[in-house]
């Protein structure tokens, strides 16, 4: 009788622990999705700002059409990308590189640098970039925590049983090392 009571209590304790781990995995998965949503919102704000920035530059640097077209093409590719974080990071890297070239171009036009609209757009874009960077750090931290739960014992037993998948980090790939380099400004 006491052996069966101990066995039932032990089974209930293990079941309660498994339920707790499952709930923690679900909460972390939702935190990862929320963090990705925050990145997505900030990137959409940036995508909406870029055409205004390009139009402002067009008036001053009409003969620099190639640079402007690259910015628009990179922006359109980033807007259309609905892939996983790793794929999105690739298109974001191309967009960041194109924007660096745009701002390097702006350095060559003192009248443009003094234009209040351009300055306002540039400041707003810089602020959005800061928000994106913070959102990326939060997302990557959430992804790390999720991956730890999926890989660590004993939560890996529950994660494997219920097919929880590891989260992908949002980072620039090695092939985009040029996006990490500072832009050379030539006069």
Q: Which of the listed ranges 59-68, 92-101, 167-176 does the model predict with the highest average pLDDT?
A: 92-101
Residues 6+ apart with CB under 8 A from 118: 53, 56, 57, 106, 112
pLDDT value at residue 128 = 92
The C-alpha R_g of the chain, in whole angstroms, comes to: 24
Q: Which tens digit of pLDDT belongs to each residue from 40-67?
A: 899 999 999 988 888 888 777 766 778 8
pLDDT band at 187; cut points 50, 70, 90: very low
The pTM assigned to this predicted structure is 0.75
For domain 2-180, give the CATH superfamily.
LemA-like domain (1.20.1440.20)
pLDDT value at residue 100 = 86
């Amino acid at each position: 009788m006491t052996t069966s009571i101990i066995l039932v209590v032990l089974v209930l304790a293990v079941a309660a622990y498994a339920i707790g781990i499952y709930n923690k995995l679900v909460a972390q998965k939702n935190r990862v999705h929320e963090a990705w949503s925050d990145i997505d919102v900030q990137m959409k704000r940036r995508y909406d700002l870029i055409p205004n920035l390009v139009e402002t530059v067009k008036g001053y640097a009409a003969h620099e059409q190639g640079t402007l077209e690259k910015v628009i093409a990179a922006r359109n590719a980033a807007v259309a990308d609905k892939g996983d974080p790793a794929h999105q990071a690739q298109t974001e890297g191309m967009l960041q590189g194109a924007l660096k070239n745009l701002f390097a171009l702006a350095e060559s036009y003192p009248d443009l640098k003094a234009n209040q609209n351009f300055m306002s757009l540039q400041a707003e874009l810089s602020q959005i970039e800061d928000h994106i960077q913070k959102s990326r750090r939060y997302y990557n931290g959430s992804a790390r925590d999720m991956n730890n739960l999926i890989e660590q014992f004993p939560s890996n037993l529950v994660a494997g049983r219920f097919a929880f998948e590891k989260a992908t980090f949002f980072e620039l790939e090695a092939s985009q090392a040029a996006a990490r380099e500072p832009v050379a400004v030539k006069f």
